[in-house]
Amino acid sequence: MTDLLVVGSVNLDEIYPVPELPIRGETVLSASSRSRHSGGKGGNQAVAAATRTGVAFVGAVGDDDIGEFLRTDLAAAGVDTTYLVVKPAASGTAVVIVEQGSGDNSIVVDQGANLLLDTADIPPGPLAAARVVLLQLEIPLKTARAVAERAAGLVVLNPAPMVDGVVELLDRVDVLVPNEFELRSLLRRDALIGPDEAAAAVREAPGRGDVVATFGGAGAYVYERERDRVTHIAPPTVPVLDTTGAGDCLCGVLAAELAAGADLVAAAETAVCVASLSTTRSGARWTRAVDDAELDKLRSAARRTVIPR
């Protein structure tokens, strides 16, 4: 039985390093030549998860050279690509602009074949057998909804990018994993200032499931709904080079840890630590397994704090 089934997007990323992210109307020059890597939220999360557990991937690529490259790259990372379908379209691509120094980024995605992933492409056997199913929203919402409704295991949703109608999914989601922007969008808030406001916000997140809200360098806030408890996990301090894909790394590792039987807070702590480590190198995909000794060191540098109501 596959521990984890990831259903989502896969793209080819073109990455441009810049001295500073451009503002509206501004042209900036790339600090060095562009680089090309496999990406897409679904693919990134599947690859990160594969460093921790067995993963099968459901997605769509185009009938082009990029599609074959993306399939080969996923398989090389240990992801089962049996359910990666080919569509008569161009494969998905993305332009990623990365600010040197801070590692902050801006991303523009052309979804391509990802938009053609249909409910008929979802394999019923693996969907029924997987302990955890991980979703994002770079595929059609109707497909994501069908997956959430049919999944027999735990459903984990990363609501990125935010799309109209996402709230309709949440009654079938067991663990919601938004970043700060997505959480504010769900709650229609302009800002969340300080840990008390963040803790209150995760408690108010819509849906019936638990919440792991990510706040970049501030770590994550974990809301266990049944216990009505919020735990803040502050990440270990690391030298940040590139934050691209850190959220995807966190989602993939979180789902993998849940599939392996970890409780939510422990799974989130591991995910925060590995995601922090992922920011120390460039690129959107985390492909390196972290051994127990290194992980224990990271966990000892992270901090858990239960935030009272």
What pLDDT shows up at residue 195? Answer: 84
Question: Percentage of residues in the chain with pLDDT exceeding 90?
Answer: 83
DSSP string, 145-175: HHHHHH-SSEEEE---S--TTGGGGGGG-SE
Q: Among 160, 183, 128, which residue's Cα sits nearest to residue 252?
A: 160
- Residues that are catalytic: 248
Q: What is the mean pLDDT of the chain?
A: 94
The rounded distance, in Å, linking the Cα atoms of 155 and 131 is 9
> Model confidence over 136-162: pLDDT tens digits?
999 999 999 999 999 999 999 999 999
pTM of whole model > 0.75? yes
First CA to last CA distance, the chain: 40
Comparing 59-63, 188-192, 263-267, 292-296, the range with the smallest average pLDDT is 188-192
pLDDT at 77 over 80: yes
What's the chain's Rg over C-alpha atoms? 18
* Of residues 18 and 31, more confidently modeled: 18
Which pLDDT value is given to residue 104? 84
Q: Residues 84-133: pLDDT tens digits?
A: 999 999 999 989 898 888 878 888 889 999 999 999 999 999 999 999 99
pLDDT at site 36: 86
Quote the tokens at residue 131.
């302990």
pLDDT of residue 191: 82
34 CB-near residues (< 8 Å, 6+ apart):
14, 15, 16
Q: What local confidence, expressed as pLDDT, does residue 1 receive? A: 56
